Each structure stands twice: as structure tokens, then as C-alpha cells.
């Protein structure tokens, strides 16, 4: 009985943290009648058990639009594809990539300035011309959504999922999404807003004082921008709880799966989401456009629930008559990384995003010439991803 009470209290704490965010510990403690230090201690223990908070960023408020690319690298370049993509950070607006365990492709996300999609397509065309890519497909996302952990299906006391499949039901309210229209929406932001978002993407718990110490920026300036811009203007949509696997051992205790359904009609999207995103392990979805619409759902589950989850998905897709139009891909957590918003590409003088595709193309050509002379790919170009995190930063 005492253990059940403790588990219920920890679930109540998780719900309060989800509602108020991991940075507002005083309010969370007050709402539950707990000492703030107890809440802080519990939050650290949650992280040790693989429960991590992330910010959900509305990229449109930063003048950015997400693109989804499927990249098929040539056999010569495939072994070093991850290193090459990380080297492109700071030049290309790449924000995430992951390889497939079940194929030769790599999925990459790019967060491009509105109106700059043509520059990204030109970059990929150049990479194909150089022989780095055999083929690619690039599509913008009409919207992106993220879903956090439901404490009803997770035992925070031991850090394990506890799924009663009879209780898995379509949600009354769909997970919040961010729409990305074709035309650029109004966006008011500056360098300090980007700096704050970058810090939050690395650690959603970070205090403004710690941001100031890490970045060298004035604490009062950051505090003003955080409250008046990042929060009030809705740049950060909220905080979501993600599960990373036991003791943060992502590659050994987590199975990543992506399913894609082509030919989706817009009027069917909400019913499709209600059905599939009821899966406790679903964590992100997006609708891709350009040609036929494609719904993409990413799932992160413990291996011991893999067969049950696939069976559950098969049954839902059969009920929707969409099983034959669905493709499943196993993702490789060992070959994945995500990056923060690229501060290097923001010009503080002109207060605008910059395009460095031409510079990147020249660097790639130099790498190709070096490889052709040495006989083995060496993808380093001096750039580096800001994070080795294998999950997309929320909002990408």
C-alpha cells in the first residue's frame, strides 16, 4: 500500500510539472504542498529514470519552416553520412537526422527561413551532382505535433512503462500542433530570443541566471526577453515530458519506429491522429505536403512492448483501411543527432537569417576533391552539431 501511495504522489508531481513546466518549481511545490527542494530532488530522479522535459518551439515565430528530406547517399559516402550531416550544421539549417535500420536512407529535418526552400533544394541537387547523394526527396511540413508521456501509463517510481491495453483509448483532445502555412507569418524576434531558445533546447530546466553565466549575456536582458518575447509571444508553446529509456541508455533500451501513410486526405487527418496517436509510445507527428499528403508518426518504445505495439498499430490501421498504404521503418538511434537553432546563421546587424549554401557547396566540393585524391571519405568541414541528442528538438 505505501508503494502505491508513493507512485500516485509521483504521478501527481509529474502532472503538475507537465502543466506548469520544469522551471516553475516553486509553483509546483506550492500546488502539491511539497517542499521545493523535494520537488527539485524528484525532478533529478525522474531524469535518471529516463524522463526528460523538452520545450516545444513554434519555429514560425522565428521565421522558420520545417522541411523533411529522405536522403539516399551513394555507397561510397554512406558510411560517413552522419559525420557529413553534422558538419553541415551552421551552414544548412539542418536540425536532425537519423538513419534507418531497415534501409539505406537517412531522414533529415531542416528548419529553413521562409522563402528559402529553393536554396535547400539547390544544395541537395549539388550534392547529387557531386556524387554524394544518389537521390533525395524534399517536402515541407504543413504542421508538426508532439505528444508527451501520459503518467497514467508510466510508473515513475521504477522508471518503467505499465500499459493496460484495455485502457488505451483515443484522446478527447488531440496533441497540440503548430501549423506552417506557405506564406511567412509575422514573426518578431531577435538574437536574444534565439539564444534563449537554444539554451532551452539543450536543457529545458535551465534558469535564466545559468543562461547568463553560460552565454555571457546580461541576466536582466535575458529575463526580459524570456518573459516578454519567448513566453508571451508564444515562441515556446510549452514543455513536454519525454521518455528516453532506462537510466538514459537510449540505444539499448529504446526501439525507434517511424510509420508513413501516403495519400492522406486533409479531412481524414484528425480521425487518423485520434486513432494512432492514442498509442502511449507515440511522440511526434507531422503532415508533409508537395504532391500527395503524407502523415508521418514517430514512436519510441521499450523493446519488451515492440510486438504488442506493432500488433496494436496493425489493428488500428486495418480498422481505418490504411494498412496497405502504410510503410514502417526502424530508426537507428546510434546514427542520429539533433541540433539547436543555428545562432551562427542569424545576422544581428540586419536582424535576419542568412543563407550560406554557396559557401557550403564550395566546402563540399573541396571535401569531394580530397576524397577523390585520398580514396576514402573524410567529411569534416569545421562545423559541428550542437547536440548529440538522438531525438528531434521539439518543434523541428
- CATH at residue 33: 1.10.10
Cross-strand partners of 336: 98
Residue 213 domain flag = no
Asked if 109 and 67 touch (Cβ cutoff 8 Å), the reply is yes
* 268 CB-near residues (< 8 Å, 6+ apart): none
Q: Is residue 14 part of a domain?
A: yes
Residue 30 lies in a domain: yes
Alpha-carbon gap, residue 212 to 226, rounded angstroms = 12
pLDDT at 158: 78
Strands 255-262 and 64-73 come out as unpaired
State the residue range of the domain holding 29: 1-48
Indicate the pTM of the whole model.
0.89
pLDDT at res. 286:
97
Q: What is the pLDDT of residue 159?
A: 80
Residue 216: inside a domain, yes or no? Answer: no
What pLDDT, on a 0 to 100 scale, did the predictor assign at position 375?
Answer: 61
Query: Does residue 35 form part of some domain?
Result: yes
Model pLDDT, residue 177:
94
Q: Is residue 21 part of a domain?
A: yes
pLDDT of res. 396: 58
Residue 39 lies in a domain: yes
What are the average pLDDT values for consecutive 10-residue runs of the chain, which has 396 residues? 64 90 90 92 88 93 97 94 94 95 91 96 97 97 93 84 92 92 90 97 94 96 96 92 67 82 91 96 93 93 93 96 94 91 96 96 94 66 50 53
pLDDT digits (tens, 9 = 90+) for 267-319: 899 999 999 999 999 999 999 988 889 999 999 999 999 999 999 999 999 99
Dump pLDDT digits (tens) for 324-375.
Answer: 999 999 999 889 999 999 999 999 999 999 999 999 999 999 999 988 876 6
Spatial distance between the Cα atoms of 285 and 268, rounded to a whole number of angstroms:
15
Domain count, the chain: 1
Q: Is residue 185 one of the residues assigned to a domain?
A: no
Amino acid at each position: 500500500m505505501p508503494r502505491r501511495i508513493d507512485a500516485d504522489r509521483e504521478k501527481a508531481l509529474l502532472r503538475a510539472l507537465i502543466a506548469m513546466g520544469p522551471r516553475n518549481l516553486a509553483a509546483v511545490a506550492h500546488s502539491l504542498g511539497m517542499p521545493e527542494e523535494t520537488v527539485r530532488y524528484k525532478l533529478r530522479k525522474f531524469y535518471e529514470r529516463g524522463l526528460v522535459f523538452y520545450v516545444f518551439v513554434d519555429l514560425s515565430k522565428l521565421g522558420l519552416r520545417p522541411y523533411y528530406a529522405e536522403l539516399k547517399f551513394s555507397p561510397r559516402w554512406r558510411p560517413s553520412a552522419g559525420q557529413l550531416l553534422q558538419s553541415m550544421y551552421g551552414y544548412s539549417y539542418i536540425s536532425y537526422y537519423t538513419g534507418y535500420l531497415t534501409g539505406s536512407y537517412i531522414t533529415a529535418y531542416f528548419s529553413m527561413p521562409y522563402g528559402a526552400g529553393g536554396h535547400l533544394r539547390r544544395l541537395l541537387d549539388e550534392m547529387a551532382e557531386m556524387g554524394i547523394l544518389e537521390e533525395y526527396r524534399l517536402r515541407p511540413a504543413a504542421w508538426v505535433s508532439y505528444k508527451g508521456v501520459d503518467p497514467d501509463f508510466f510508473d515513475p517510481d521504477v522508471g518503467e512503462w505499465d500499459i493496460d491495453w484495455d485502457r488505451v483509448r483515443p484522446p478527447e483532445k488531440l496533441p497540440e500542433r503548430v501549423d506552417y502555412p506557405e506564406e511567412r507569418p509575422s514573426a518578431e524576434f531577435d538574437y536574444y530570443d534565439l539564444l534563449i531558445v537554444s539554451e532551452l533546447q539543450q536543457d529545458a530546466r535551465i534558469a535564466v541566471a545559468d543562461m547568463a553565466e553560460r552565454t555571457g549575456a546580461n541576466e536582466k536582458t535575458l529575463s526580459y526577453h524570456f518573459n516578454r518575447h519567448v513566453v508571451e509571444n508564444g515562441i515556446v508553446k510549452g514543455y513536454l515530458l519525454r521518455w528516453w529509456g532506462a537510466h538514459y541508455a537510449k540505444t539499448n533500451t529504446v526501439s525507434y519506429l517511424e510509420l508513413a501513410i501516403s495519400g492522406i486526405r486533409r479531412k481524414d487527418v484528425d480521425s487518423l491522429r485520434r486513432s494512432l496517436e492514442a498509442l502511449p509510445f507515440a511522440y511526434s507527428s507531422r503532415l508533409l505536403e508537395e504532391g500527395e499528403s503524407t502523415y508521418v508518426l514517430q514512436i519510441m518504445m521499450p523493446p519488451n512492448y515492440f510486438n504488442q505495439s506493432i500488433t496494436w498499430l496493425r489493428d488500428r490501421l486495418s480498422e481505418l483501411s490504411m494498412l496497405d498504404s502504410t510503410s514502417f521503418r526502424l530508426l537507428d538511434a546510434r546514427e542520429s543527432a539533433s541540433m539547436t537553432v543555428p545562432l551562427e546563421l542569424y545576422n544581428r546587424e540586419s536582424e535576419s537569417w542568412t543563407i550560406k549554401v554557396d559557401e557550403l557547396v564550395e566546402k563540399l566540393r573541396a571535401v569531394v576533391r580530397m576524397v577523390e585524391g585520398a580514396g576514402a571519405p573524410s567529411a569534416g568541414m569545421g562545423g559541428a552539431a550542437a547536440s548529440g541528442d538522438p531525438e528531434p528538438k521539439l518543434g523541428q
